[in-house]
Amino acid sequence: MPLDPPLVRLQFPALQKSKAIFLDNPAGTQICQPSLKRMVDYLTTCNANHEGAFTTSRQSDALLYEAHAAVADFYNAERAEEIVFGANMTTLTLHISRSLARWLNPGDRIVVTRLDHDANISPWLLIAEERGCMVDWVDFHPEDGTLNLDELRQALERQPRLLAIGYASNALGTINPVSEIIPLAKSAGALVYVDAVQYAPHGPIDVQALGCDFLVSSAYKWFGPHVGALYGRYELLESLFAYKVRPAPANPPGKFETGTLNHEGMAGVLGAIEYLEELGEEYGADFEPELAKTYQGRRLRLKKAMSAIRKYEEGLARALLETLEETPGVTLYGLRDIQRLGERVPTVAFRLKGYHPRRVAEELDKSGIYVWDGNYYALAVTTRLGVEADGGMVRVGPVHYNTVKEIEQFGAALRKLID
């Protein structure tokens, strides 16, 4: 069954309290009610620190383990201990990169791409400088925003130690063919670090099928609180040196979860996954009664939910691209072909002739429509496209709680600005 937008929207309190049209989602979605409830319940029933002998501490530890297990199911990881929580994707990546740096030697090669968010570029540039490594940059095609796979293959022929790659571009919406790229990188002997922040709200993730070594996203991009969650293959997490205080656990994930974590935020992540589970059960998941009670049942529900979201959002992407193509003075960046919606998420970037991107965002705000302008930390993208010095681009990013009607209202407001 297709998603029912009115029912979906009832799960998001901000959508009930505000008449605004939230198209700023690539920088952070609105939070769902189950996530909020989990956070409040945690703070009012078992707010305690880790590993105490008393009741609330035991309850807290059990809930936090459940949050790890839920993210493992969301990513289809093998076990809960492969999930590391942190402040956000950027913090986690800087943390893990520091540990990986100890494995690198002068002259080793690292591959990064110009299509990535800077959080999946700068950490690797920093450790390359520190360890005397070589950095190979892989370009993208400016005309359609797709990665230059020939350049990537050439970079992999040099047998790098690490490939850092995004699942989807936070600026242009391009989905990289990671399921094809990762086996090539592994054959070249490289570790693969995947930034899934922009893909995670839009489609199912399966780290076992992908074969990546690390994958990371932030829950505030998929309807939860400001918390990051990293997957790492257990044997890698176990063998990596961790920068930690001496009393901290020696085993993963605790060795990487420095200090007292955002416990209520982790509870909120569990709530966001429970929301997606319920969505999967409602929209197309058929279960044997016994399977529904198992962890495989949760994984199936999550896969069904994200597949339903993916299908629904293709309609939003189509409407958004058609609206912008029909608007005079608009220059679109990235994939514009309606026949290639399967190669992008619904995040779209554009410029409007005669208008600075900030002014476009400010004028749309007057109509209660929220969009982003600038480079969104995708500095390599805006620099490559030649727009960084002139304000970057305007970015519009619907998710599954948005509607085609909202896209139409956005288009009308944009045309009004031109008129």
Task: Please list the residue range(s) of the chain that carry CATH number 3.40.640.10.
Answer: 35-273
Contact 360/394 with Cβ under 8 angstroms?
yes
Contact 316/345 with Cβ under 8 angstroms?
no
Percent of the chain with pLDDT over 70: 97
pLDDT in tens, 277-293: 999 988 755 555 555 55
pLDDT in tens, 376-397: 999 999 999 999 999 999 999 9
In this predicted structure, what is the pLDDT of residue 290?
A: 53
In this predicted structure, what is the pLDDT of residue 283?
A: 78
pLDDT in tens, 297-328: 899 999 999 999 999 999 999 999 999 999 99
- d(CA 219, CA 203) in angstroms, rounded, equals 14
Q: Please state the rounded mean pLDDT for residues 349-367.
A: 98
pLDDT in tens, 113-124: 999 999 999 999
- d(CA 361, CA 31) in angstroms, rounded, equals 22
pLDDT in tens, 79-96: 999 999 999 999 999 999
pLDDT in tens, 265-276: 999 999 999 999
Q: Is 35-273 in CATH node 1.10.8.190?
A: no
CATH class of the domain at 5-30+309-418: alpha beta
In this predicted structure, what is the pLDDT of residue 335?
A: 97
**Residues 6 or more apart whose Cβ sits within 8 Å of residue 165:** 111, 113, 116, 120, 176, 178, 181, 192, 193, 194, 195
Task: Please list the residue range(s) of the chain that carry CATH number 3.90.1150.10.
Answer: 5-30+309-418
Omega within 30 of 0 (cis) for the link into 253:
yes
Q: Residue 161: phi, psi to the nearest 5?
A: -85, -25
pLDDT band, very low/low/confident/very high, at 371 (cuts 50, 70, 90): very high
Q: Is-above-0.75 flag for pTM?
A: yes
pLDDT band, very low/low/confident/very high, at 419 (cuts 50, 70, 90): confident
